[in-house]
Each structure stands twice: as structure tokens, then as C-alpha cells.
Amino acid sequence: MSITDDIGGRTEDLKRIYQETGPELLAYFRRRHGSPELAEDLLQETFAAVMRHPRRLLQADCPRAYLFGVARNISATALRQAHPADAPLADAVAEAETPDPRLDAMREAIGRLDPALRQVLQLRLREEMAYEEIARFLNIPVGTVRSRLHYAVKNLRQALVAAPNL
């Protein structure tokens, strides 16, 4: 059975999804990995993985969230292979130099967030995902997304108020 047989002639839907989501996924990979070449490779790997079971994408409530889920897993695998020791998100965020001490304090506070809170915050702010998309992406209830975002923002506010010299 070919892929075309498996998706019942819905290649136009797949092309549309690729055209709409491909640039966002590419930007996601570039932010996480820094290399445009690696980002292109990971984008291709993401769609190759999706094409092994295209019906899952086509039947997803939110194809964008489904693709970001696949991309997140592929990105995590690439990071583990490139850097066997964990590199915290705060290190990646802290790479950009800035003279504004509030940004340094914010980066530091984000780095100290619980990983679950930091992940939801990143998906909301960096990936601009809606609460419902984040919930599907992480396979958690929308209420949990709202709660995690609430506590992430609360913790960041407290950290900034307590930060010296601000």
C-alpha cells in the first residue's frame, strides 16, 4: 500500500498543512538549535515521521498542535544526541547579551521555574500557541495549562520584585 492509498487521496490537505505550518516549525527549530541547516533537517525529519502515519495528522483535532508535538520529540532527541548532558532552557535564553538588568533577572527567574511551568510558558509566549493547543500538545487539561501559566507568571513577578537593583 502506498502513502497515497493510505491517506485516501488527501495529499492536498497535507500540502496545505505543510505550507501553513512549515515556516512556524522551521522557526521553532532555529530558535532551539541555532543552526539553519539543522533546522531544515529537523523539519524534514518531522514531516517524514508524520508521513509514516499520515492519517494521525489528518484526523487530529488540531493538526498544528499535533505537528508541534512531533517536532518537540524530534528536537528533544536531536538535543540529547548533540549534548548528552542536559542544557537548561535558561542557558539558551541567556545567550543573547543585553544591557537591561531586568532582562537578565527575568532570564534567571525563568531558568529557576519548575520545568512544567517553564514549558507551558514557552509554548504560550515563543510558539504563540492557544491554551487549547498547548493542552493537546502536552496531553493535559486546559485547566492545567491555565494553572501552570498563572503560577509561572506569579513566580516571575515575585522574582522580579525580590531582585536587587531593579
CA distances in angstroms from 69 to 35, 60, 63, 78, 138, listed in the order given = 20, 11, 10, 14, 8
pLDDT in tens, 78-105: 887 776 544 455 455 445 444 676 777 8
Residue 96: how many other CB atoms lie within 10 Å: 8
Residue partners of 7: CB distance under 8 A and separation at least 6: 13, 14, 54, 55, 58
Q: By the 8 A CB rule, do 80 and 101 touch?
A: no
pLDDT in tens, 118-141: 999 988 888 778 898 899 888 899
- The pLDDT assigned to 7 comes to 54
Cα angle 32, 34, 36; round to 5: 115
Task: Determine the average pLDDT of the residues in 13-38.
Answer: 87
- The pLDDT assigned to 2 comes to 41
Residue 1 reports pLDDT greater than 50:
no
pLDDT in tens, 31-83: 888 888 999 999 999 988 888 888 888 887 788 888 888 888 898 888 877 76
Residue 22 vs residue 100, higher pLDDT: 22
